[in-house]
Amino acid sequence: MDKSKFKKPSHNKSRVRATMDGFVGPDSFKRAGSIGFPDKKDFADGKMATRLDDFRRVEGFSSSAQAIDETSQAETVNRPVVPLPAPLLNSGPRKNSKFGRNNKGRRLSTGMKPRRSWVKIIKRSMLAILLIVLVTGIYFGFKLYIVEKNIFKGGGNAPGLAKKVDITKLKGEGDGRVNILLLGIGGPGHEAPDLSDTIMLISIDPVNNQATMLSIPRDLWVEIPGYGSQKINAAFSYGKQNSKEKSDSGKTKDGIALAEKTLASVLNVPIHYHVVVDFAAFRQAIDAVGGVTFDVPEQLYDPTIAWENGNKSVIAAKGVQTFNGARALLYARSRETSSDFARAERQRQLIVALKEKILSAGTYSNPIKISQLLSTFGNNIYTDIDSGDIPRLYQIGSMIPSSSILSLDMVTPPHSLLTTGAHNGLSVVMPRAGLYQYEDIQNYVRNALVDGFIFQENASIAILNGTNTIGVASLKSKELKSYGYNVVSVGDAPTKDYQKTVFVDLSKGTKKYTVNYLEKRLGVKAVTTLPAGITTATTDFVIILGSNTAGSSSTP
C-alpha cells in the first residue's frame, strides 16, 4: 500500500497556528498581516514608518505568547536579527499591559488609530441626548400648536382676565369677572345630538379669587329669537342646524350665538367665553387625568341606565368614590330617579373634582399630559377661548380653592325662583313669577355674581330723589343693589327741580372702578362738589336723581 496517501500533510509556512484563546504569536505577526514586529524595511533611521496596510488583520486581539511549530522555530533560528527600536527595548514586561500600550499606559507609535477617550464619548452622548430632547420638544410644540388651534378658536374676550385691567375696556358691571357659558351636548351617535343636556354658567372673580357655578335647567321655557317658545335646550340646536355657514366650527358658532341671545333675556349678565363639550370629550377628559375622586353625598340608583353600568342599578354608592370617564358620564347624565336639578348639582360636583385633579396632577406644567389631554378631544370640543388666555385662566384657577367655588341653583330656598309645570302639553320649568318673568332671577344672579372690583371697593352710596316722582330713589336703590353696590341710604333732595342726575364723587379718587361703572350706568360724569343745599355727606358717593332718570328702566 502506498503509505504516501496517508502521509500527514506538512504545514504551510505561511500558516499561523492559533492558541485556544485565538491569539497569534510574535513570530507570526508579519506572516499573518497583523500588527507586531515589522520588517527591516519598515524602519527608517531607527524610526517606525506608518503604513496603512499594517491593519490587514481581522478585528480582535493578538497574543504576545504563541505556540510555535517546528517549521516556525527553524525559520526563526535562520532569520536575521532585526534591531528593535528603543521604545520597545525599554518598554519592559508587557504582561499586564493593554495591547498597543506599554506598562506605563503610553501609546506605542505603531500607526494605530487612537482609542476614543471617555470624554469624547460622554460629549457625543450628551449631544445626542440634547438632540433627542430638542426634536421631541419641537414635535410636541408643533403638535400642541395644531391641537390648540383646532380646539381654541379664539374670538371671546374678557377684560377682567388681564393681569393689569384696562379700566376703559370695562363696559359695565360684570366685566370685572370672567363668565364662561358651558354647553354639554350628546354629540355624534346620540339622538338629537345638538340638544343642550347641560347649560351652566361658570363665573370667575380673578380680583378676589372666587368662582361660582350656576346651572340653568334644560327644560326652562323661553322665547328663542326667531323660533318662538321652546325649551331652552333647543336654542343651540336651532342655531347650528339652520346656520348658513359651511364649516362645522361656523355652524357651532352660530349655535352658540343663538343660545347666548336666548339666555341673555333670562340672566342679563355678560358672557365672555363659550365652551361646547359632547359626551365623548367629557368622558375622555376624566380618563386623561386618571379619573376623579370625590365624596358622593348620597347613593345614586338608576335602573334605567343599568345596561350601561354592567347591569348594575347603583351608579354610585354613598361616600368617597373614584370614577373613570364612563362612570362619571353616567353620574352626570342620570336624572330618571332624581331630578334635573339634582343632576345639575352632580355635574357641578364633577367639574370641581376635575378642576382639582388637573391642578393637583400638574397637568398644565407637563407638556406630554397636555398633549394627551388635548389630543383625545379631537372635534368633540369647541371654545372661543384663545390659547393665549389658557395660562392666565390656569393661574387664576390654581389660586381659587375648591372651598371658594360656590354651587348655585334657582330652586333651593331662600332662592326658590323656579317651579315645574305643564305648558302646551309638555312638562317644563318656569319662573314662579310667571312665564317669561325673569326680573327676580336677574336680580338674584347679578347679586350672586358681583363684579370683583365693586365687591373689593365696597363704596358707600347715598341716593336722593331730586324729582316729584315718588319712589324713584327706592327703585334706583333696588337696581344698584342687584349689582352688588353698597347703597346705605335713600331719601329726598332739598329741592325737586333737578332736570339731570348729579353724581358726586367724595372718595378722593380711591374708588375708581365704582366711579367708572356708575358713570356709564347713570350716563353722567362725576363731579367732586356737592350741589347747593346739600351740606353734609358721609358716604363715598351721592347720587341726586333728576327728571331724566325718573322714567328710565331699572335695568340696563
pLDDT at position 425 is 87
- pLDDT exceeds 60 at position 38: no
3-state class of 133 per DSSP?
helix
Mean local confidence (pLDDT), 355-382: 68
**b/e code 87-117 from CB counts within 10 Å (16+ = b):** eeeebeeeeebeeeebeeeeebebbeeeeee
Mean local confidence (pLDDT), 287-311: 88
Q: Which of 448, 478, 494 is the last residue of a domain?
A: 448
Mean local confidence (pLDDT), 349-364: 77
- Look up the domain containing 543 and give its range: 458-550
pLDDT digits (tens, 9 = 90+) for 104-132: 444 444 555 555 577 777 777 777 777 76
Lookup: cell for 302 = 338608576
All residues at 6 or more sequence positions from 474 whose CB lies less than 8 Å from its CB, including other chains: 490
Give me the DSSP letters along 135-193: HHHHHHHHHHHHHHHHHB------GGGSSS--GGG--STTTTSEEEEEEEE--TTSSST
Q: Compute the radius of gyration of the chain from its Cα atoms.
A: 43
CATH number at residue 473: 3.30.70.2390
pLDDT at position 375 is 64
Lookup: cell for 540 = 363715598
pLDDT at position 551 is 52
197 and 83 in a single domain? The answer is no
Total domains present in the chain? 3
Q: Which of 29, 59, 89 is the last residue of a domain?
A: 89
- pLDDT exceeds 90 at position 500: yes
Given pLDDT bands bounded at 50, 70 and 90, which one contains residue 549?
confident
229 and 282 in a single domain? The answer is yes
pLDDT at position 47 is 45
pLDDT at position 514 is 97
pLDDT at position 431 is 96
Given pLDDT bands bounded at 50, 70 and 90, which one contains residue 394?
confident
Q: What percentage of residues in the chain have a pLDDT greater than 90?
A: 43
425 and 474 in a single domain? The answer is no
541 and 421 in a single domain? The answer is no
360 and 437 in a single domain? The answer is yes
198 and 223 in a single domain? The answer is yes
164 and 261 in a single domain? The answer is yes
Q: Which of 396, 420, 448 is the last residue of a domain?
A: 448
- pLDDT exceeds 60 at position 268: yes
pLDDT at position 481 is 94
What distance separates the 2 farthest-apart alpha carbons in the chain?
Answer: 155
